[in-house]
């Protein structure tokens, strides 16, 4: 079975939990009103909502554990999470060019339904595998983040299946 090109496993987006809860956080009143009018005139499609999201270049599942990696000019990120054991995963974000590194662990993993209606999650519905993952940083101020994961496919790596076998 052919494998999917590394840059086409899906998409991932991460943000502080405050930004996920209030996407208008930090905007002044005028900017909030303008955003609302733009949305009412022509709501963005699901494809437009994820157009700028980083692509997943590595997506594997080892037993129940997913490991995904993404890379942009500004950062590299790795997230591991297990839907059956939400507190067993972790993450690392390396900021570029000489930025710091953030580390933490997963605390919650929520599957996203195929018919999800919530505006903050519905853009994931076209993907075969969809999760909302909540993480907490390992150092002060222990930043909580939300990761939105949409995978078209992933590779299964375990004793039963050789590496390189893609699941669609």
Q: Distance between CA 103 and CA 165 in Å, rounded? A: 30
Helices (H), 23-137: 29-41, 46-50
Is the Cβ–Cβ distance between 129 and 145 less than 8 Å?
A: no
Domains held by the chain: number: 1
Query: Which pTM does this prediction carry?
Result: 0.81
Q: Distance between CA 43 and CA 113 in Å, rounded? A: 21
Q: Is residue 141 part of a domain?
A: yes
Domain range for 42 is 6-167
Q: Is residue 143 part of a domain?
A: yes
pLDDT string in tens for the chain (168-residue length)? 344 444 589 999 999 998 888 766 666 777 666 766 565 666 666 777 788 899 999 999 999 999 999 999 999 999 999 999 999 999 999 998 888 899 999 999 999 999 999 888 999 999 999 999 999 999 989 999 999 999 999 999 975 555 555 555
Residue-level pLDDT at 115: 94
Q: Is residue 73 part of a domain?
A: yes
């Amino acid at each position: 079975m052919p494998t999917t090109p590394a840059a086409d496993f899906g998409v991932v987006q991460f943000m502080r939990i405050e930004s996920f809860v209030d996407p208008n956080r930090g905007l002044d009143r005028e900017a909030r009103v303008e955003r609302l009018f733009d949305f009412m005139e022509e709501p963005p499609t699901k494809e437009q909502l994820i157009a700028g999201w980083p692509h997943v270049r590595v997506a594997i599942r080892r037993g129940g554990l997913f490991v995904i990696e993404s890379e942009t000019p500004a950062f590299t990120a790795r997230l591991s999470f297990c839907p059956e054991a939400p507190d067993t995963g972790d993450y690392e974000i390396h900021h570029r060019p000489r930025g710091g590194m953030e580390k933490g662990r997963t605390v919650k993993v929520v599957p996203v339904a195929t018919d999800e209606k919530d505006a903050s999650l519905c853009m994931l519905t076209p993907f075969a595998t969809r999760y909302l993952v909540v993480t907490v940083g390992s150092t002060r101020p222990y930043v909580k983040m939300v990761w939105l994961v949409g995978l078209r496919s992933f590779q299964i790596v375990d004793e039963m299946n050789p590496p390189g076998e893609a699941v669609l």
